[in-house]
Protein backbone atom coordinates (compact mmCIF):
# COMPACT_ATOMS: atom_id res chain seq x y z
CA UNK A 1 0.00 0.00 0.00
CA UNK A 2 1.24 3.45 -0.88
CA UNK A 3 1.19 6.18 1.75
CA UNK A 4 -1.62 7.77 -0.21
CA UNK A 5 -3.78 4.65 0.15
CA UNK A 6 -3.12 4.54 3.90
CA UNK A 7 -4.02 8.21 4.13
CA UNK A 8 -7.31 7.67 2.31
CA UNK A 9 -8.09 4.22 3.76
CA UNK A 10 -11.25 5.37 5.56
CA UNK A 11 -12.51 7.28 2.52
CA UNK A 12 -11.81 4.31 0.22
CA UNK A 13 -13.45 1.80 2.56
CA UNK A 14 -16.51 4.05 2.91
CA UNK A 15 -16.92 4.17 -0.87
CA UNK A 16 -16.39 0.41 -1.08
CA UNK A 17 -19.13 -0.17 1.52
CA UNK A 18 -21.45 2.27 -0.24
CA UNK A 19 -21.11 0.14 -3.39
CA UNK A 20 -23.17 -2.57 -1.70
CA UNK A 21 -26.03 -0.21 -0.80
CA UNK A 22 -28.90 0.37 -3.26
CA UNK A 23 -28.72 3.75 -4.93
CA UNK A 24 -31.86 5.02 -3.24
CA UNK A 25 -30.42 4.50 0.25
CA UNK A 26 -26.94 5.79 -0.56
CA UNK A 27 -27.32 9.36 0.83
CA UNK A 28 -28.57 7.94 4.12
CA UNK A 29 -25.90 5.24 4.25
CA UNK A 30 -23.22 7.80 3.44
CA UNK A 31 -24.38 9.99 6.31
CA UNK A 32 -24.44 7.05 8.73
CA UNK A 33 -20.98 5.89 7.66
CA UNK A 34 -19.59 9.40 8.22
CA UNK A 35 -21.32 10.09 11.51
CA UNK A 36 -20.87 6.77 13.33
CA UNK A 37 -17.03 6.87 13.40
CA UNK A 38 -17.20 10.39 14.86
CA UNK A 39 -19.72 9.22 17.45
CA UNK A 40 -17.36 6.40 18.40
CA UNK A 41 -13.95 8.07 18.19
CA UNK A 42 -14.58 11.18 20.24
CA UNK A 43 -16.35 9.59 23.24
CA UNK A 44 -13.46 7.09 23.28
CA UNK A 45 -11.06 10.02 23.27
CA UNK A 46 -13.10 11.47 26.15
CA UNK A 47 -12.68 8.23 28.08
CA UNK A 48 -8.92 8.21 27.51
CA UNK A 49 -8.69 11.91 28.36
CA UNK A 50 -10.37 11.47 31.75
CA UNK A 51 -7.74 8.87 32.70
CA UNK A 52 -4.86 10.94 31.30
CA UNK A 53 -6.16 14.02 33.06
CA UNK A 54 -6.46 12.33 36.44
CA UNK A 55 -3.05 10.71 36.10
CA UNK A 56 -1.45 13.91 34.83
CA UNK A 57 -2.95 16.08 37.54
CA UNK A 58 -1.88 13.48 40.07
CA UNK A 59 1.71 13.56 38.86
CA UNK A 60 1.71 17.37 38.87
CA UNK A 61 0.69 17.16 42.54
CA UNK A 62 3.19 14.34 43.24
CA UNK A 63 0.49 11.70 43.55
CA UNK A 64 0.01 8.46 41.61
CA UNK A 65 -3.50 9.14 40.30
CA UNK A 66 -5.80 6.20 39.57
CA UNK A 67 -3.72 3.00 39.49
CA UNK A 68 -6.06 0.14 40.41
CA UNK A 69 -8.21 -0.76 37.39
CA UNK A 70 -6.23 -2.44 34.63
CA UNK A 71 -2.55 -1.82 33.85
CA UNK A 72 -1.47 1.38 35.64
CA UNK A 73 -5.13 2.28 36.17
CA UNK A 74 -5.74 2.77 32.47
CA UNK A 75 -9.23 1.22 32.51
CA UNK A 76 -10.46 3.56 35.22
CA UNK A 77 -12.88 5.09 32.71
CA UNK A 78 -14.69 1.73 32.39
CA UNK A 79 -15.15 1.57 36.16
CA UNK A 80 -16.34 5.19 36.19
CA UNK A 81 -18.76 4.56 33.34
CA UNK A 82 -20.25 1.46 34.99
CA UNK A 83 -20.51 3.35 38.27
CA UNK A 84 -22.37 6.27 36.73
CA UNK A 85 -24.70 3.88 34.85
CA UNK A 86 -25.64 1.98 37.99
CA UNK A 87 -26.24 5.05 40.15
CA UNK A 88 -29.71 6.22 41.00
CA UNK A 89 -31.05 8.98 38.78
CA UNK A 90 -32.36 11.54 41.26
CA UNK A 91 -34.61 14.30 39.94
CA UNK A 92 -35.58 17.04 42.43
CA UNK A 93 -39.29 17.09 43.28
CA UNK A 94 -39.67 20.75 42.30
CA UNK A 95 -37.63 20.43 39.12
CA UNK A 96 -39.11 21.05 35.71
CA UNK A 97 -39.00 17.38 34.72
CA UNK A 98 -38.95 17.77 30.94
CA UNK A 99 -36.35 20.53 30.78
CA UNK A 100 -34.28 18.82 33.45
CA UNK A 101 -34.22 15.71 31.28
CA UNK A 102 -33.51 17.54 28.02
CA UNK A 103 -30.64 19.75 29.21
CA UNK A 104 -27.84 17.12 29.28
CA UNK A 105 -29.05 15.66 25.99
CA UNK A 106 -29.02 19.06 24.33
CA UNK A 107 -25.53 19.74 25.63
CA UNK A 108 -24.17 16.52 24.17
CA UNK A 109 -26.06 16.94 20.90
CA UNK A 110 -24.78 20.51 20.51
CA UNK A 111 -21.23 19.31 21.15
CA UNK A 112 -21.58 16.50 18.62
CA UNK A 113 -23.15 18.73 15.96
CA UNK A 114 -20.01 20.90 15.95
CA UNK A 115 -17.94 17.94 14.70
CA UNK A 116 -19.83 17.99 11.40
CA UNK A 117 -17.56 20.68 9.94
CA UNK A 118 -14.21 19.64 11.45
CA UNK A 119 -11.85 18.10 8.89
CA UNK A 120 -10.31 15.11 10.67
CA UNK A 121 -8.13 14.15 7.71
CA UNK A 122 -7.70 14.78 4.02
CA UNK A 123 -11.21 14.40 2.44
CA UNK A 124 -12.47 13.36 5.87
CA UNK A 125 -15.17 15.80 6.92
CA UNK A 126 -18.79 14.96 7.62
CA UNK A 127 -20.17 18.04 5.88
CA UNK A 128 -18.07 20.51 3.89
CA UNK A 129 -20.26 23.57 4.44
CA UNK A 130 -19.40 26.83 2.70
CA UNK A 131 -20.12 28.64 5.97
CA UNK A 132 -18.61 25.96 8.17
CA UNK A 133 -17.08 28.34 10.68
CA UNK A 134 -20.36 30.20 11.06
CA UNK A 135 -22.14 26.88 11.55
CA UNK A 136 -19.62 25.89 14.22
CA UNK A 137 -20.19 29.03 16.27
CA UNK A 138 -23.97 28.87 15.77
CA UNK A 139 -24.06 25.31 17.08
CA UNK A 140 -21.57 26.15 19.81
CA UNK A 141 -23.88 28.81 21.22
CA UNK A 142 -26.50 26.09 21.82
CA UNK A 143 -24.31 25.00 24.73
CA UNK A 144 -25.27 28.16 26.64
CA UNK A 145 -28.93 27.26 26.20
CA UNK A 146 -28.35 23.75 27.53
CA UNK A 147 -26.43 25.10 30.52
CA UNK A 148 -29.14 27.57 31.38
CA UNK A 149 -31.84 24.91 30.92
CA UNK A 150 -29.98 22.73 33.42
CA UNK A 151 -29.55 25.56 35.91
CA UNK A 152 -33.10 26.86 35.68
CA UNK A 153 -34.96 23.56 35.64
CA UNK A 154 -33.13 22.20 38.70
CA UNK A 155 -34.92 24.71 40.91
CA UNK A 156 -31.90 25.19 43.14
CA UNK A 157 -30.07 28.37 44.06
CA UNK A 158 -26.67 26.84 43.42
CA UNK A 159 -27.74 25.59 40.01
CA UNK A 160 -29.14 28.95 39.05
CA UNK A 161 -26.09 30.86 40.27
CA UNK A 162 -23.80 28.45 38.44
CA UNK A 163 -25.85 28.70 35.27
CA UNK A 164 -25.88 32.49 35.39
CA UNK A 165 -22.13 32.58 35.92
CA UNK A 166 -21.63 30.08 33.11
CA UNK A 167 -23.86 31.94 30.66
CA UNK A 168 -22.28 35.31 31.51
CA UNK A 169 -18.83 33.83 31.04
CA UNK A 170 -19.60 31.93 27.86
CA UNK A 171 -21.29 34.88 26.18
CA UNK A 172 -18.46 37.23 27.21
CA UNK A 173 -15.81 34.91 25.83
CA UNK A 174 -17.79 34.03 22.71
CA UNK A 175 -16.97 37.54 21.44
CA UNK A 176 -13.14 37.23 21.60
CA UNK A 177 -13.42 33.62 20.41
CA UNK A 178 -15.17 34.64 17.21
CA UNK A 179 -13.06 37.77 16.74
CA UNK A 180 -9.85 35.77 17.19
CA UNK A 181 -10.90 33.35 14.46
CA UNK A 182 -12.00 36.06 12.02
CA UNK A 183 -8.35 36.88 11.22
CA UNK A 184 -8.09 33.42 9.65
CA UNK A 185 -11.19 34.05 7.56
CA UNK A 186 -9.59 37.33 6.43
CA UNK A 187 -6.37 35.57 5.45
CA UNK A 188 -7.85 32.52 3.74
CA UNK A 189 -10.85 34.30 2.25
CA UNK A 190 -13.23 31.49 3.13
CA UNK A 191 -15.57 30.39 5.93
CA UNK A 192 -15.23 26.74 4.90
CA UNK A 193 -13.05 24.78 7.30
CA UNK A 194 -11.78 22.55 4.48
CA UNK A 195 -10.70 25.58 2.45
CA UNK A 196 -9.00 27.07 5.52
CA UNK A 197 -6.95 23.89 6.01
CA UNK A 198 -6.05 23.77 2.33
CA UNK A 199 -4.92 27.41 2.43
CA UNK A 200 -2.30 26.37 5.03
CA UNK A 201 -1.24 23.18 3.29
CA UNK A 202 1.83 24.47 1.39
CA UNK A 203 5.47 24.37 2.52
CA UNK A 204 8.38 26.82 2.20
CA UNK A 205 11.52 24.66 2.22
CA UNK A 206 10.38 22.20 4.91
CA UNK A 207 8.35 24.62 7.03
CA UNK A 208 4.54 24.76 6.74
CA UNK A 209 2.37 27.78 6.00
CA UNK A 210 0.40 27.56 9.20
CA UNK A 211 -1.23 30.76 10.36
CA UNK A 212 0.26 30.34 13.82
CA UNK A 213 3.66 31.21 12.31
CA UNK A 214 2.63 34.79 11.59
CA UNK A 215 2.47 37.57 14.20
CA UNK A 216 -1.30 37.97 13.94
CA UNK A 217 -1.79 34.21 13.73
CA UNK A 218 0.28 33.60 16.86
CA UNK A 219 -1.59 36.28 18.80
CA UNK A 220 -4.87 34.97 17.40
CA UNK A 221 -4.00 31.41 18.45
CA UNK A 222 -3.16 32.43 22.02
CA UNK A 223 -6.30 34.57 22.29
CA UNK A 224 -8.38 31.79 20.76
CA UNK A 225 -7.02 29.24 23.23
CA UNK A 226 -7.72 31.53 26.21
CA UNK A 227 -11.26 32.11 24.97
CA UNK A 228 -11.67 28.38 24.25
CA UNK A 229 -10.62 27.54 27.81
CA UNK A 230 -13.24 29.94 29.12
CA UNK A 231 -15.82 28.64 26.62
CA UNK A 232 -15.39 25.07 27.82
CA UNK A 233 -15.56 26.12 31.51
CA UNK A 234 -12.15 24.71 32.30
CA UNK A 235 -9.69 25.79 34.94
CA UNK A 236 -8.70 28.65 35.47
CA UNK A 237 -12.11 29.75 34.18
CA UNK A 238 -14.08 27.03 35.98
CA UNK A 239 -15.93 29.28 38.38
CA UNK A 240 -19.38 28.28 37.05
CA UNK A 241 -18.75 24.94 38.73
CA UNK A 242 -16.55 26.21 41.58
CA UNK A 243 -16.63 23.31 44.04
CA UNK A 244 -15.82 25.44 47.06
CA UNK A 245 -18.67 27.94 46.79
CA UNK A 246 -21.45 26.62 44.53
CA UNK A 247 -20.47 22.92 44.67
CA UNK A 248 -20.88 21.93 41.03
CA UNK A 249 -22.75 24.87 39.58
CA UNK A 250 -25.49 24.21 37.09
CA UNK A 251 -25.32 20.42 37.25
CA UNK A 252 -25.43 19.99 41.02
CA UNK A 253 -28.93 18.48 40.87
CA UNK A 254 -27.89 15.85 38.34
CA UNK A 255 -26.78 12.37 39.25
CA UNK A 256 -25.92 9.09 37.62
CA UNK A 257 -25.53 9.01 33.88
CA UNK A 258 -26.98 12.49 33.33
CA UNK A 259 -24.06 13.84 35.35
CA UNK A 260 -21.71 11.79 33.18
CA UNK A 261 -23.43 13.25 30.10
CA UNK A 262 -22.59 16.75 31.33
CA UNK A 263 -18.97 15.73 31.63
CA UNK A 264 -19.09 14.14 28.19
CA UNK A 265 -20.64 17.29 26.74
CA UNK A 266 -18.03 19.54 28.33
CA UNK A 267 -15.13 17.44 27.13
CA UNK A 268 -16.62 17.07 23.66
CA UNK A 269 -16.97 20.85 23.55
CA UNK A 270 -13.34 21.21 24.59
CA UNK A 271 -12.22 18.76 21.89
CA UNK A 272 -14.35 20.56 19.31
CA UNK A 273 -12.89 24.00 20.10
CA UNK A 274 -9.38 22.49 20.22
CA UNK A 275 -10.02 20.86 16.86
CA UNK A 276 -11.19 24.21 15.53
CA UNK A 277 -8.02 25.86 16.84
CA UNK A 278 -6.05 23.16 14.99
CA UNK A 279 -8.06 23.77 11.84
CA UNK A 280 -7.72 27.54 11.98
CA UNK A 281 -4.16 28.04 13.17
CA UNK A 282 -2.25 24.76 13.25
CA UNK A 283 -2.81 23.60 9.69
CA UNK A 284 -5.56 21.07 10.45
CA UNK A 285 -4.47 17.60 9.36
CA UNK A 286 -1.32 18.85 7.60
CA UNK A 287 2.10 17.52 8.65
CA UNK A 288 4.41 20.00 10.42
CA UNK A 289 7.32 19.30 8.03
CA UNK A 290 7.20 18.52 4.33
CA UNK A 291 9.28 15.34 4.78
CA UNK A 292 6.70 13.94 7.21
CA UNK A 293 3.75 14.01 4.84
CA UNK A 294 3.89 10.21 4.47
CA UNK A 295 2.29 9.89 7.92
CA UNK A 296 -1.52 9.76 7.42
CA UNK A 297 -3.38 13.03 7.83
CA UNK A 298 -5.80 11.75 10.51
CA UNK A 299 -2.79 10.72 12.65
CA UNK A 300 -1.52 14.30 12.53
CA UNK A 301 -4.93 15.62 13.45
CA UNK A 302 -5.18 13.41 16.54
CA UNK A 303 -1.56 14.07 17.53
CA UNK A 304 -2.25 17.80 17.47
CA UNK A 305 -5.53 17.30 19.33
CA UNK A 306 -3.81 15.25 22.04
CA UNK A 307 -1.09 17.89 22.34
CA UNK A 308 -3.71 20.58 22.93
CA UNK A 309 -5.54 18.34 25.43
CA UNK A 310 -2.27 17.81 27.31
CA UNK A 311 -1.80 21.54 27.36
CA UNK A 312 -5.31 22.04 28.75
CA UNK A 313 -4.54 19.51 31.50
CA UNK A 314 -1.22 21.20 32.22
CA UNK A 315 -2.94 24.59 32.53
CA UNK A 316 -5.56 23.05 34.82
CA UNK A 317 -2.85 21.68 37.07
CA UNK A 318 -1.09 25.04 37.22
CA UNK A 319 -3.50 27.92 37.60
CA UNK A 320 -5.92 28.73 40.42
CA UNK A 321 -9.46 29.81 39.67
CA UNK A 322 -10.11 33.44 38.69
CA UNK A 323 -12.53 35.70 40.50
CA UNK A 324 -15.70 36.82 38.68
CA UNK A 325 -14.49 40.42 38.26
CA UNK A 326 -11.08 39.23 37.08
CA UNK A 327 -12.80 36.96 34.58
CA UNK A 328 -14.97 39.73 33.15
CA UNK A 329 -12.12 42.25 33.26
CA UNK A 330 -9.97 39.85 31.30
CA UNK A 331 -12.66 39.37 28.67
CA UNK A 332 -13.63 42.99 28.10
CA UNK A 333 -10.47 44.94 28.99
CA UNK A 334 -7.82 42.64 27.56
CA UNK A 335 -9.21 40.02 25.17
CA UNK A 336 -11.57 42.29 23.26
CA UNK A 337 -9.06 45.11 22.51
CA UNK A 338 -6.39 42.57 21.62
CA UNK A 339 -8.65 40.68 19.20
CA UNK A 340 -9.85 43.92 17.58
CA UNK A 341 -6.26 45.11 17.17
CA UNK A 342 -5.40 41.71 15.79
CA UNK A 343 -7.92 42.23 12.98
CA UNK A 344 -6.04 45.41 12.07
CA UNK A 345 -2.71 43.57 12.24
CA UNK A 346 -3.98 40.89 9.87
CA UNK A 347 -5.13 43.58 7.45
CA UNK A 348 -1.73 45.29 7.61
CA UNK A 349 -0.05 41.93 6.96
CA UNK A 350 -2.25 41.44 3.91
CA UNK A 351 -1.54 44.85 2.41
CA UNK A 352 2.23 44.87 3.06
CA UNK A 353 3.61 42.24 0.69
CA UNK A 354 7.26 42.98 1.53
CA UNK A 355 8.30 40.40 4.18
CA UNK A 356 11.17 42.62 5.41
CA UNK A 357 8.66 45.33 6.22
CA UNK A 358 5.60 43.38 7.32
CA UNK A 359 7.32 41.14 9.86
CA UNK A 360 8.66 43.96 12.09
CA UNK A 361 5.55 46.11 11.64
CA UNK A 362 3.10 43.34 12.47
CA UNK A 363 5.21 42.03 15.37
CA UNK A 364 5.26 45.54 16.80
CA UNK A 365 1.50 45.82 16.28
CA UNK A 366 1.05 42.70 18.43
CA UNK A 367 3.72 43.22 21.08
CA UNK A 368 3.29 46.94 21.82
CA UNK A 369 -0.47 46.82 22.57
CA UNK A 370 0.11 43.67 24.63
CA UNK A 371 2.75 45.37 26.79
CA UNK A 372 0.68 48.55 27.12
CA UNK A 373 -2.50 46.65 28.00
CA UNK A 374 -0.83 44.37 30.52
CA UNK A 375 0.87 47.39 32.15
CA UNK A 376 -2.42 49.28 32.36
CA UNK A 377 -4.22 46.24 33.83
CA UNK A 378 -1.59 46.05 36.54
CA UNK A 379 -1.93 49.75 37.43
CA UNK A 380 -2.94 50.31 41.03
CA UNK A 381 -3.00 46.60 41.78
CA UNK A 382 0.02 46.32 44.03
CA UNK A 383 -0.15 43.59 46.63
CA UNK A 384 -0.30 44.91 50.16
CA UNK A 385 -0.77 43.65 53.67
CA UNK A 386 -4.48 43.54 54.38
CA UNK A 387 -5.57 45.74 57.28
CA UNK A 388 -8.79 45.19 59.16
CA UNK A 389 -10.85 47.95 60.74
CA UNK A 390 -12.83 45.93 63.24
CA UNK A 391 -11.42 42.43 63.33
CA UNK A 392 -8.04 43.20 64.88
CA UNK B 1 4.33 41.63 32.05
CA UNK B 2 1.12 39.63 31.73
CA UNK B 3 1.84 35.94 31.23
CA UNK B 4 5.26 35.70 32.85
CA UNK B 5 3.77 34.35 36.06
CA UNK B 6 1.81 31.78 34.07
CA UNK B 7 5.01 30.60 32.35
CA UNK B 8 6.76 30.34 35.72
CA UNK B 9 3.86 28.31 37.06
CA UNK B 10 3.90 26.05 34.02
CA UNK B 11 7.60 25.27 34.49
CA UNK B 12 7.00 24.53 38.17
CA UNK B 13 4.20 22.05 37.46
CA UNK B 14 6.22 20.51 34.64
CA UNK B 15 9.12 20.02 37.05
CA UNK B 16 6.79 18.31 39.51
CA UNK B 17 5.28 16.16 36.77
CA UNK B 18 8.63 14.93 35.43
CA UNK B 19 10.19 14.72 38.87
CA UNK B 20 7.49 12.39 40.15
CA UNK B 21 8.61 9.80 37.58
CA UNK B 22 12.28 9.96 38.52
CA UNK B 23 12.40 10.64 42.24
CA UNK B 24 10.62 8.18 44.49
CA UNK B 25 10.77 10.51 47.49
CA UNK B 26 8.39 12.90 45.75
CA UNK B 27 5.58 10.36 45.85
CA UNK B 28 4.62 10.23 49.50
CA UNK B 29 1.42 8.22 48.99
CA UNK B 30 1.42 4.86 50.78
CA UNK B 31 -0.37 2.22 48.69
CA UNK B 32 -2.46 1.04 51.62
CA UNK B 33 -3.43 -2.60 51.31
CA UNK B 34 0.02 -3.51 50.00
CA UNK B 35 2.09 -1.09 52.07
CA UNK B 36 1.46 0.23 55.54
CA UNK B 37 2.66 3.27 57.39
CA UNK B 38 4.49 2.52 60.67
CA UNK B 39 2.09 2.43 63.61
CA UNK B 40 1.91 5.64 65.56
CA UNK B 41 2.73 5.06 69.21
CA UNK B 42 0.52 7.84 70.55
CA UNK B 43 -2.57 6.74 68.63
CA UNK B 44 -5.51 4.91 70.20
CA UNK B 45 -8.90 3.62 69.22
CA UNK B 46 -10.54 0.83 71.27
CA UNK B 47 -9.57 -0.73 74.62
CA UNK B 48 -8.16 -4.23 75.01
CA UNK B 49 -7.44 -6.44 78.05
CA UNK B 50 -3.78 -7.13 78.86
CA UNK B 51 -2.73 -10.61 79.96
CA UNK B 52 0.62 -11.90 81.25
CA UNK B 53 2.08 -15.28 80.45
CA UNK B 54 1.19 -17.59 77.59
CA UNK B 55 -2.50 -18.29 78.32
CA UNK B 56 -4.87 -15.42 77.62
CA UNK B 57 -7.74 -16.50 79.88
CA UNK B 58 -5.52 -17.48 82.82
CA UNK B 59 -3.24 -14.46 82.67
CA UNK B 60 -5.79 -11.63 82.48
CA UNK B 61 -4.82 -8.84 84.82
CA UNK B 62 -8.46 -7.86 85.24
CA UNK B 63 -9.93 -8.74 88.64
CA UNK B 64 -13.47 -7.54 87.69
CA UNK B 65 -13.54 -4.67 90.14
CA UNK B 66 -16.22 -2.92 88.01
CA UNK B 67 -14.48 0.47 88.20
CA UNK B 68 -14.23 0.82 84.43
CA UNK B 69 -17.80 -0.38 83.94
CA UNK B 70 -19.05 2.30 86.32
CA UNK B 71 -16.83 5.05 84.96
CA UNK B 72 -17.46 4.35 81.28
CA UNK B 73 -19.39 7.44 80.04
CA UNK B 74 -21.35 5.71 77.26
CA UNK B 75 -21.72 2.49 79.31
CA UNK B 76 -20.24 0.19 76.73
CA UNK B 77 -18.46 -2.20 79.15
CA UNK B 78 -20.35 -5.23 80.49
CA UNK B 79 -18.65 -7.34 83.19
CA UNK B 80 -19.76 -10.57 84.90
CA UNK B 81 -17.79 -11.24 88.05
CA UNK B 82 -16.69 -14.79 88.75
CA UNK B 83 -17.96 -16.64 91.83
CA UNK B 84 -14.65 -18.41 92.51
CA UNK B 85 -11.06 -17.19 92.73
CA UNK B 86 -8.21 -18.24 90.49
CA UNK B 87 -4.50 -17.55 90.79
CA UNK B 88 -3.40 -14.73 88.49
CA UNK B 89 -0.07 -14.45 86.68
CA UNK B 90 1.77 -13.81 89.95
CA UNK B 91 0.13 -16.79 91.65
CA UNK B 92 -2.12 -14.72 93.88
CA UNK B 93 -5.77 -15.84 94.17
CA UNK B 94 -8.07 -13.28 92.57
CA UNK B 95 -11.57 -12.88 91.19
CA UNK B 96 -11.62 -12.83 87.44
CA UNK B 97 -14.17 -11.65 84.83
CA UNK B 98 -16.43 -14.58 83.90
CA UNK B 99 -17.51 -12.39 81.02
CA UNK B 100 -16.06 -9.07 79.84
CA UNK B 101 -17.70 -7.44 76.84
CA UNK B 102 -17.18 -4.13 75.12
CA UNK B 103 -19.70 -2.81 72.63
CA UNK B 104 -17.39 -1.08 70.14
CA UNK B 105 -20.31 0.52 68.34
CA UNK B 106 -20.93 2.46 71.57
CA UNK B 107 -17.34 2.97 72.74
CA UNK B 108 -16.15 6.50 72.12
CA UNK B 109 -12.43 5.80 72.63
CA UNK B 110 -12.19 8.24 75.55
CA UNK B 111 -9.57 6.17 77.43
CA UNK B 112 -11.30 6.80 80.79
CA UNK B 113 -11.38 3.03 81.50
CA UNK B 114 -7.59 3.03 81.08
CA UNK B 115 -7.15 6.02 83.36
CA UNK B 116 -9.21 4.53 86.19
CA UNK B 117 -7.97 0.91 86.10
CA UNK B 118 -5.87 0.32 89.25
CA UNK B 119 -4.45 -2.94 87.86
CA UNK B 120 -3.18 -1.73 84.45
CA UNK B 121 -5.46 -4.40 83.01
CA UNK B 122 -7.11 -2.41 80.24
CA UNK B 123 -5.18 -0.43 77.61
CA UNK B 124 -5.90 1.26 74.30
CA UNK B 125 -5.27 -0.56 71.03
CA UNK B 126 -4.02 0.91 67.76
CA UNK B 127 -5.48 -1.65 65.38
CA UNK B 128 -7.74 0.17 62.95
CA UNK B 129 -8.68 -2.52 60.41
CA UNK B 130 -11.93 -3.44 62.12
CA UNK B 131 -14.49 -3.42 59.32
CA UNK B 132 -16.97 -6.26 59.54
CA UNK B 133 -19.29 -8.07 57.16
CA UNK B 134 -22.09 -8.04 59.69
CA UNK B 135 -23.83 -4.99 61.02
CA UNK B 136 -24.76 -6.23 64.49
CA UNK B 137 -23.02 -9.44 65.55
CA UNK B 138 -19.39 -8.49 65.29
CA UNK B 139 -19.55 -5.33 67.34
CA UNK B 140 -19.98 -6.77 70.85
CA UNK B 141 -16.51 -8.09 71.56
CA UNK B 142 -16.15 -10.88 74.16
CA UNK B 143 -13.12 -11.20 76.42
CA UNK B 144 -11.52 -13.76 74.10
CA UNK B 145 -11.32 -11.14 71.41
CA UNK B 146 -10.38 -8.36 73.82
CA UNK B 147 -7.49 -10.24 75.44
CA UNK B 148 -4.08 -9.32 74.03
CA UNK B 149 -0.69 -10.19 75.44
CA UNK B 150 1.65 -7.89 77.31
CA UNK B 151 4.13 -8.46 74.45
CA UNK B 152 1.62 -6.99 72.01
CA UNK B 153 1.21 -4.03 74.36
CA UNK B 154 4.98 -3.56 74.30
CA UNK B 155 4.88 -3.70 70.54
CA UNK B 156 2.29 -0.97 70.04
CA UNK B 157 3.12 1.37 72.95
CA UNK B 158 6.77 0.58 73.90
CA UNK B 159 7.45 3.55 76.22
CA UNK B 160 4.15 3.39 78.02
CA UNK B 161 4.36 -0.41 78.44
CA UNK B 162 7.89 -0.22 79.88
CA UNK B 163 6.71 2.34 82.45
CA UNK B 164 3.71 0.17 83.36
CA UNK B 165 5.93 -2.92 83.76
CA UNK B 166 8.35 -1.01 86.01
CA UNK B 167 5.45 0.26 88.15
CA UNK B 168 3.97 -3.23 88.45
CA UNK B 169 7.33 -4.75 89.38
CA UNK B 170 7.89 -2.05 92.00
CA UNK B 171 4.42 -2.57 93.45
CA UNK B 172 4.90 -6.34 93.62
CA UNK B 173 8.32 -6.00 95.24
CA UNK B 174 6.84 -3.69 97.86
CA UNK B 175 3.75 -5.83 98.57
CA UNK B 176 5.32 -9.27 98.57
CA UNK B 177 7.33 -10.66 101.58
CA UNK B 178 11.01 -11.51 101.07
CA UNK B 179 10.72 -15.10 99.75
CA UNK B 180 8.07 -14.05 97.22
CA UNK B 181 10.59 -12.60 94.78
CA UNK B 182 11.85 -15.92 93.33
CA UNK B 183 8.35 -17.44 93.48
CA UNK B 184 6.78 -15.04 91.00
CA UNK B 185 8.37 -16.34 87.78
CA UNK B 186 7.75 -19.98 88.83
CA UNK B 187 4.11 -19.19 89.50
CA UNK B 188 3.86 -17.44 86.19
CA UNK B 189 5.18 -20.52 84.44
CA UNK B 190 2.85 -22.77 86.41
CA UNK B 191 -0.17 -20.63 85.80
CA UNK B 192 -1.36 -22.18 82.52
CA UNK B 193 -1.84 -25.68 84.00
CA UNK B 194 -3.76 -24.27 86.91
CA UNK B 195 -5.83 -22.16 84.57
CA UNK B 196 -6.80 -25.08 82.37
CA UNK B 197 -7.69 -27.32 85.30
CA UNK B 198 -9.79 -24.59 86.86
Q: B14 and A314: CB-CB below 8 Å?
A: yes
Tally Cβ neighbours within 10 Å of residue B118.
8
Query: Over the stretch B152-193, which tens digit does the pLDDT of each residue have?
Result: 999 888 888 899 989 888 888 887 665 544 544 544 444 444
Asked if residue A43 is part of any domain, the answer here is no
Residue B79, helix vs strand vs coil: strand
Asked if residue A16 is part of any domain, the answer here is no
Nearest to A318 among B13, B27, B31 (CB): B13
Q: A64 and B27: CB-CB below 8 Å?
A: yes
Q: A59 and B10: CB-CB below 8 Å?
A: no
Asked if residue A68 is part of any domain, the answer here is no
The predicted pLDDT at position B105 comes to: 87
Please determine, for the modelled complex, whether the ipTM score is greater than 0.90. no
Q: How far is CA B81 from CA A97, A359, B188, in A?
A: 64, 97, 23
Nearest to A319 among B9, B19, B31 (CB): B9
pTM for this predicted structure: 0.79
Asked if residue A30 is part of any domain, the answer here is no
Q: How far is CA A95 from the centre of its chain?
A: 30
Residue A68, helix vs strand vs coil: coil
Q: B10 and A318: CB-CB below 8 Å?
A: yes
Nearest to A374 among B1, B20, B31 (CB): B1
Q: How far is CA A42 from CA A82, A112, A241, A262, A286, in A?
A: 19, 9, 23, 15, 20
Could you list the mean pLDDT of each consecutive 10-residue stretch along chain B, which spans 198 residues? 84 90 86 85 90 84 89 91 81 85 90 90 88 80 89 89 88 69 48 44
Using a CB-CB cut-off of 8 Å, the residues of chain B touching A373 are: 2
Q: How far apart are CA A302 and CA A285, in angstroms?
A: 8
Q: What DSSP string describes A286-300?
A: --SSGGGTTS-HHHH
Residue B185 belongs to what H/E stretch? helix B180-197
The predicted pLDDT at position B179 comes to: 54
Task: Identify the sign of the CA torsion B166, B171, B172, B177.
Answer: positive
| Distance between A274 CA and the closest CA of chain B, angstroms | 19
Nearest to B9 among A56, A318, A375 (CB): A318
- Give the range of the structural domain holding residue A303, as residue numbers without chain letter: 91-371
Instruction: Please state whether beta strands B47-51 and B147-149 pair in parallel, antiparallel, or not at all (unpaired).
Output: parallel
Q: How many domains does chain A have?
A: 1
Query: Over the stretch A56-82, which tens digit does the pLDDT of each residue have?
Result: 999 999 888 888 888 888 888 889 889
Interface probe, candidates B1, B19, B20, chain A, greatest A C-beta count within 10 A: B20
Interface probe, candidates A56, A60, A314, A326, chain B, greatest B C-beta count within 10 A: A60
Q: A318 and B20: CB-CB below 8 Å?
A: no
Q: How far apart are CA A297 and CA A200, in angstroms?
A: 14
- In chain B, domain spans: 47-153
Fold of the CATH domain B47-153 = Alpha-Beta Plaits (3.30.70)
By C-alpha distance, which of B106, B156, B100 is closest to B128? Answer: B156
Asked if residue A334 is part of any domain, the answer here is yes
Q: How far apart are CA A344 and CA A362, in angstroms?
A: 9
Amino acid sequence: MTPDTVDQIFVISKHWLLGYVPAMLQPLASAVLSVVPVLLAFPLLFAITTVLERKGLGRIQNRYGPNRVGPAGFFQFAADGIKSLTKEDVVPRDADQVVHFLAPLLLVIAAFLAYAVLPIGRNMVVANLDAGLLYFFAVGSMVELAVFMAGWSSHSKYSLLGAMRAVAQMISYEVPLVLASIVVVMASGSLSTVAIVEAQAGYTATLPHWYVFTPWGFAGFILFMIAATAESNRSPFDLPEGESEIIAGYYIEYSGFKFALFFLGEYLGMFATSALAITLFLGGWAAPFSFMTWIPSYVWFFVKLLALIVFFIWIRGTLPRLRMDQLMGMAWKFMLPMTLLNLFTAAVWHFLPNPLLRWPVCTALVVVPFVVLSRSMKQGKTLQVRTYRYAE
Amino acid sequence: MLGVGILKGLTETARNFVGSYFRKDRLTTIQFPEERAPRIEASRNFPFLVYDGPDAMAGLRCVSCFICEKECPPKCIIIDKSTDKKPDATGKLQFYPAEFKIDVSVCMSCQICVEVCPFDAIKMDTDFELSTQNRFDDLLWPKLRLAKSNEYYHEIHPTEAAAVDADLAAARAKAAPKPAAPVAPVAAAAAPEKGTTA
